Chain A
Amino acid sequence: MNAPVHAKLASQLPFYQPVADECTVFETAWRQQLPVLIKGPTGCGKTRFVAHMAAKLGLPLFTVSCHDDLSAADLVGRHLIAGGDTRWCDGPLTRAVREGGICYLDEVVEARKDTTVVLHPLTDDRRILPIERTGEELQAPPGFMLVVSFNPGYQHVLKTLKPSTRQRFVALSFDFPLPEVERAVVQHEGGVDERLAAQLVTLAGQIRRLTGYDLDEAVSTRLLVYCAKLIASGMGVRLACRTALVEPLSDEADTLAALMAVVDTQFGA
Chain B
Amino acid sequence: MEDLVGGWWDKLIRRTAYRGYPQAAVALADIEKQAPLFFRAMGGDPALTLRTAVGTAHGARRRLLERIAGTGEQVELAWRDGQSLYLPEKIDLFPDAARNRELYFWLMALAAQPQHSDDGDWLTRNRRASAACLAAMPGLAALYRRLVTALLPLRDTPRDAAAAAQEAAIRAALQQPEAAIALPPCRTPPQPVLLWLHPTPPTAPTAGADDKQTPEMEDSDSKETKKKRRYRARRDTADERKNGMLLVFRAESIFTWDEYVRVNRHTDDDDMDDAGAAAEDMNTLTISRDNRRRASRLKFDLDLPAAAYDDTPLGSGILLPEWDYRRQRLVAEHCCLKPMLPRDATPAPLPDKLQPLARRLRRQFQALSPERTRKSGEASGPDIDLDRLIRFLAEKRSGVAVAEPPLYQAWPPGGRNMACLLLADLSLSTESWLGEAGQVIGVIRDSLLLFAEALSACGDDFGLYGFSSIRRDEVRYLLLKDFAERYDDTTRGRILALRPGYYTRMGAAIRQSTRILLEQPAQRRLLLIVSDGKPNDLDHYEGRYGVEDTRQAVLEAKRAGLIPFCVTVDKEAGEYLPHLFGRRGYSVVHDARRLPQVLTGLYASLTA
Contacts and interface: CB of A to CB of B under 8 A. Distances in A.
Interface string B573-608: 000000000001111101000000100010001111
A133 B41 contact: no
Given A262-B38, A265-B42, A265-B137, A73 B398 contact: no
Interface stretch (A17-25, A121-129, A206-214, A223-231): A206-214
B308 interface: no
Interface stretch (B73-81, B242-250, B387-395, B506-514): B387-395
Contacts of B607: 158
A32 to B, nearest CB: 30
Given A202-B136, A213-B590, A78 B394 contact: yes
B418 to A, nearest CB: 9
Contacts of B46: 209, 213
B34 interface: yes
Nearest to A263: B139
A158 B606 contact: yes
B563 A157 contact: yes
B42 A206 contact: yes
Given A79-B391, A134-B400, A158-B563, A258 B37 contact: yes
B391 A210 contact: no
A61 B138 CA distance: 43
A214 B138 contact: no
A83 to B, nearest CB: 12
Nearest to A160: B584
Nearest to B400: A133
Contacts of B565: 154, 157
Interface string A121-146: 00000000000011100000000000
A81 B394 contact: yes
Contacts of A88: 398
B526 A158 contact: yes
Contacts of B410: none
B38 A133 contact: no
Contacts of B601: 216
Given A79-B394, A86-B394, A261-B105, A152 B584 contact: yes
A10 to B, nearest CB: 38
Given A158-B524, A213-B590, A261-B38, A268 B143 contact: yes
Interface of B: 33-38, 40-43, 46, 105, 109, 136-140, 142-143, 376, 390-391, 393-395, 397-398, 400, 402, 524, 526, 563, 565, 584-588, 590, 597, 601, 605-608
Contact of A255 (B37, B109, B586, B605): B37
Nearest to B526: A158
A79 B395 contact: yes
Nearest to A217: B605
Chain B residues touching A, majority SS: helix
Contacts of B136: 202
B37 A133 contact: no
Given A81-B393, A213-B588, A255-B37, 4 more contacts: A158-B526, A259-B41, A262-B42, A265-B105
Given A258-B38, A259-B37, A267 B139 contact: yes
Contact of A266 (B105, B139, B395): B139
A202 B141 CA distance: 15
A110 to B, nearest CB: 11
A81 to B, nearest CB: 5
B395 A86 contact: yes
B395 A133 contact: yes
Contact of B140 (A135, A213, A268): A268
A258 B34 contact: yes
Contact of A268 (B142, B395, B605): B142
A154 to B, nearest CB: 4
A265 B395 contact: no
Nearest to A215: B37
A269 B98 CA distance: 13
7 contacts: A78-B391, A79-B391, A154-B587, A157-B563, A216-B605, A265-B140, A268-B143
A66 B35 CA distance: 40
B143 A264 contact: yes
Contact of B585 (A157, A207, A265): A157
A210 B34 contact: no
A265 B37 CA distance: 13
A209 B394 contact: no
A190 B452 CA distance: 45
Contacts of B33: 254, 257-258
A219 B554 CA distance: 32
Contacts of A152: 584
B137 to A, nearest CB: 4
Contact of B398 (A79, A207, A216, A264): A79
Interface string A42-82: 00000000000000000000000000010001000011110
Contacts of A268: 139-140, 142-143
A252 B394 contact: no
Q: Which 5 A-B pairs have the closest CB atoms?
A: A268-B139, A258-B34, A258-B37, A254-B33, A265-B140
A263 B36 CA distance: 15
